[in-house]
Amino acid sequence: CKIQEMKKDSIWYSTVLIVIFVAFMATAYWFFKSPYFVVVDAWIKTNMVLYVSALFIYKSIGVLFPPIPAGVVTMASIPFLGWFVAYMVDMAGSIFGGMFAYWLGKKYGRKILKKIFSDSIVNKIVKTKVKKGKEIEAVFMFRVLLGSTILEAVYYGAGFLKIPFGKFLIGASLSHLKTKGRYFE
């Protein structure tokens, strides 16, 4: 009975996500063909520093507060900024937000994890053991394997697990190059 209920929920969630994706794509297609695109493009080119700064802040906040879909806004910025600039802003915002998430995870521990993530994710973080001397590899692999699904959990979890900050920063930065760098191959 419980399995059937889970399957129904899974089908429901998948359907909702597909509908949202199709609606987003249809809206994006309409927007790119509309006269509004030219207006927005001209405004962004005139106010590039303001737009990039706002995108950076938005991406950083998106890491700190997972329900904000910062990646979608970054992807929507590609037609205006180009792949490389959008990627660099995404990476910088993600790392900057990740540094704050790391600090919050280190300072407030399980208390903040429980406020942001489900019990199952918190339990997985708590049970994680990182071998001394392998912290960079651990952050890198968690970020690559879990990447966009629960990126924030990796950042908060690294702080909670007391991974040294420098090693966290190196692992997070390298993993960003690996996961996002594929767009430039």
**Domain ranges for the chain:** 34-184
The whole-number pLDDT of residue 6 equals 59
The whole-number pLDDT of residue 184 equals 47
For the entire predicted model, the pTM comes to 0.73
Give residue-wise pLDDT tens across range 103-147: 998 998 888 888 877 787 777 777 777 778 777 777 777 766 665
The whole-number pLDDT of residue 185 equals 44
- Per-residue pLDDT averaged across 73-99, rounded? 90
The whole-number pLDDT of residue 39 equals 95
Residue 83, token pair as written in the block: 């792949």
